[in-house]
Amino acid sequence: MPIMDPSDVTYVEKELNMSHGELLGIIIDYRKRECEETAFRIENQNALTAMAKDYQALKVKLETTAAERDRLKEELTRIAEQNQLKTKDIFGRGTEKLSDIIDAPLDAENEDEAMAEIVEFPSGARKRSALFAASKKPRDPEKKKRIGKRDEDLAKLPQHVQFRLDIEDLDLKYGEGNWRIAFWHNHRTVEIDPQTAYVLNSYSPVISVGLEHELKTIQNPDVLLKNSIASASLTAEILYQKFFMSLPLYRQELVFENFGLVLSRQTMCNWVIRFSFDLFGPIYDYLQELMLESPYHQCDETTLRVTNDGRAAGSKSYMCYALSSTAWTYA
C-alpha cells in the first residue's frame, strides 16, 4: 500500500471533514479486513490444492478398480464358457444362462470310479439294455480297484454266517456217496432292514464228484449279482428311497455311512441302472403290450436330459406318460 505524505493526509482530512484519529481508525479497519481476506484466500487455496490431490488419488483408485473389474469379468466369462462347453459335452445344447451357472451350487466331490463296483450288462440283454451298454464308455484299464477296499468298507458292519447245503439234492444229482465237500465258496452281500444293516456271509459248498474228483460249485440261488454285495433287501431299499421317497443317491450315501457301511453313490447308480433294465424291463414290456391293446390313449410328455443313450449330444429326449382307456383288473 503506498504511503501518504503529510500534505495528502491534510487534504483528505479537509475534504472528508474528518479528524486525523478517525481517518487512522478507518485505515486500520481496512488493513484488518484486507489481512483477513488474504488469510481466507490462502486457506481456500490450500483447500483447493488438497481437494485436487484427493481427486487425483480417487481417480487413480477408480481406474485401478475398473481395470480389476474388467479383468474379473473376463475371467468369469471364460469360466462360464468352460462350464457351458462342459455341460454341452455331457448333456448337449441347453438354455442355461450365465446367472444360472453362477448361482448354481458347486458340484459335490468327484467320485473315484475306480473305487466303485463295476456292473456289467449280460450279453443277452434286451434292446434297451443293449442300447445302454453300447453307449457306455469302456472302463479304463489303468483304474484298478484297490485290494482290500471291500473289507475296509464292510468292516464296521456286523457279520452273519449261513451255510447253504442241500444234501438230498446233491445225492439226487451226483449219486449218494459219490460226492464230498472240497471247500466252501463264500459270497458276501449286504442285507438291510429299516433299522440296521449287516453283512451276510453265505457259504455254498464246492464238492468233489466221483473218483476223478471233479470239482463242482453249488450255485447260490439267492445271488442277485455275481461278485457284488448287492442283495434284494439292499437294492429294494435304494430303489424305494430314490424313486418313492425322492432321496438322491448322494444323500443315501450319507445314510449308509451312519449304518457303518461305505457304499459310494457311483456303485448305487450302477445298480439302479442295471436293475432298472434287468428286473423292471419285463414289467415295462408287459405294460406296453397292455397299452397297445387299448383303443384310446391319453399321453403327455416332458423333455429331459440324457447323458448316454447312443445318440449325438444335443439330441432332444422325452419322458412320456401314457394312460389307457381300459380299466385293468387282476385276480
User: What is the spatial distance between Cα 184 and Cα 202, in angstroms, rounded to a whole number?
Assistant: 10
Does residue 32 share a domain with residue 135?
no
Does residue 145 share a domain with residue 68?
no
Considering the chain, what percentage of its residues have pLDDT values greater than 90? 10
Report, as an integer, the average pLDDT of 79-99: 64
Lowest mean pLDDT among 22-26, 52-56, 148-152, 318-322: 22-26
pLDDT on residue 15: 61
In a domain? residue 104: no
| Per-residue pLDDT at 106 exceeds 50 | no
pLDDT mean across residues, the chain: 77
**Sign of the Cα pseudo-torsion (117, 123, 129, 131, in order):** positive
In a domain? residue 325: no
pLDDT on residue 197: 83
Does residue 184 share a domain with residue 232?
yes
Does residue 149 share a domain with residue 63?
no
pLDDT on residue 166: 82
Banded model confidence at residue 27, pLDDT cuts 50, 70, 90: confident
Number of domains in the chain: 2
Quote the pTM value.
Answer: 0.45
Does residue 153 share a domain with residue 60?
no
Lowest mean pLDDT among 3-7, 80-84, 145-149: 3-7
Does residue 243 share a domain with residue 144?
yes
Does residue 152 share a domain with residue 35?
no
In a domain? residue 41: yes
pLDDT on residue 326: 74
| Per-residue pLDDT at 104 exceeds 50 | no
Does residue 128 share a domain with residue 17?
no
Paired strand residues for 301 = 320
pLDDT on residue 107: 39
pLDDT on residue 14: 60
pLDDT tens per residue, range 262-304: 899 999 999 998 888 888 888 888 888 888 888 888 888 888 8
Q: Name the residue with higher pLDDT: 27 or 237.
A: 237
pLDDT on residue 137: 58
In a domain? residue 285: no
| Per-residue pLDDT at 118 exceeds 50 | yes
| Per-residue pLDDT at 316 exceeds 80 | yes
Paired strand residues for 303 = 318
Does residue 77 share a domain with residue 19?
yes
| Per-residue pLDDT at 11 exceeds 50 | yes
pLDDT on residue 315: 81
In a domain? residue 237: yes
pLDDT tens per residue, range 124-142: 445 554 445 555 556 666 6
pLDDT on residue 110: 37
pLDDT on residue 138: 60
In a domain? residue 97: no
pLDDT tens per residue, range 204-241: 888 888 888 888 888 888 888 888 889 888 999 999 89
In a domain? residue 294: no
Does residue 250 share a domain with residue 133?
yes
pLDDT on residue 89: 66
pLDDT on residue 103: 46
pLDDT on residue 195: 67
Domain that holds residue 41: 1-86
Does residue 214 share a domain with residue 160?
yes
In a domain? residue 110: no
Does residue 232 share a domain with residue 131?
yes
pLDDT on residue 10: 65
